[in-house]
Amino acid sequence: GSLENYASLFKIIQKAKPDEIYHLAAQSYVASSFDDEFSTLNININGTHYVLSSVKELGKKIKFYFAGSSEMFGKVSTKYQNEKTPFNPRSPYGISKVTGYYLTKNYREAFKIFTSTGILFNHESPRRGSEFVTRKISYGVARIKKGLQKKLSLGNINSKRDWGHARDYVNAMWLMLQQDTSGDYVIGTGKEYSVRDFADKAFKHVGLNYEDYVTIDKTLMRPAEVDTLLANSSKAKKQLKWQPKTTFENLVIEMVESDLEFVTKFGY
Ligand code: F7E
């Protein structure tokens, strides 16, 4: 199916007769959303609306999960963000997710459909695409260690994120749809590290110093940056009994180890 095509989504949902829908599909790369605002807004907003509308039209008791994002908080004025923190998005991507959040909420309130939004902070793993900074670093470190690359160019290495492991976060999504009532949940680790910290740990893991390899490329800086994001997941911990299991250190090591294995096996 295509998020740009209501009929295709409707037909798939009609045919599959799902009990639960996890709507994760989107143009999810924040930097690209500045280059092509129109596609990002069209795909992310209309795509979400099409899935929600199909659920409503099909009249089945489908539980719906919407992938919200910490990018909805954007430029924050509080150290920690929870479900009550005001949204202040800084990118077309963030704006599209705020709209998706309100669409999801409105279908819950107006049509009594079980719809929940997970406001997920950055979640990483070896499966992350290399356009995102964590995988760019882990892959770059592996290539540098194996002599395939000399330098790693990055943008704003001072920006801070609450990085968790995708495996833990998928578990949170599933838990949200196993509840008796729907709602919104902030999902993060409650710990914050900079891009620089990630690079430092990743290079250290293979016995190198990031300062000898990282170069700063100003063209990788965003027109409007989100400097810091840090989750307060008390609601999820209490209501979903959810706890993140992977530490930042283990996340970095898992990603670097996986890329070392990849580079050794395929040679690129
Ligand atoms: O950037 C900085 C960059 O592209 C993280 C998506 O899954 O999480 C993700 O969004 C930070 C930013 O992820 C480079 O400026 C420095 O401050 O890995 P990212 P993101 O923008 O935080 C949220 C929760 C989502 O919902 C999104 O879909 O790292 N940074 N140097 C860089 N970022 C990239 N990509 N490349 C660099 O070279």
Summarize pLDDT for 169-197 with one digit per residue, the tens. 999 999 999 999 999 999 999 999 999 99
Nearest CA to ligand 1 atom 10: 30
Which DSSP letter does residue 240 get?
Answer: I
255: tokens are 């990603």
Predicted confidence (pLDDT) per residue in 70-85, tens digit: 999 999 999 999 999 9
Tell me how many degrees the CA angle 59-62-66 measures, rounded to the nearest 5.
120
Task: Enter the pTM of the model.
Answer: 0.97
Atom of ligand 1 lying closest to residue 195 CA: 29
Is 71 labeled as catalytic in the residue annotation? yes
pLDDT score at 52: 98
CB atoms within 10 A of CB 219: 6
pLDDT score at 59: 86
pLDDT at 209 over 80: yes
Three-state DSSP string of 70-123:
HHHCCCCCCCCECCCCCCCCCCHHHHHHHHHHHHHHHHHHHHCCCEEEEEECCE
Confidence class of residue 266 from pLDDT cuts 50, 70 and 90? very high
Distance CA 82, CA 90 (A): 18
Catalytic residue among 6, 50, 65, 93: 93
pLDDT at 161 over 90: yes
Predicted confidence (pLDDT) per residue in 8-56, tens digit: 999 999 999 999 999 999 999 999 999 999 999 999 999 999 999 999 9
Residue of 30, 186, 189, 220 to mutate, ligand 1, most atoms within 8 A of C-beta:
30
Catalytic residue among 28, 33, 54, 69: 69
Is 138 labeled as catalytic in the residue annotation? no
Confidence class of residue 60 from pLDDT cuts 50, 70 and 90? confident
Distance CA 263, CA 250 (A): 20
Predicted confidence (pLDDT) per residue in 91-113, tens digit: 999 999 999 999 999 999 999 99
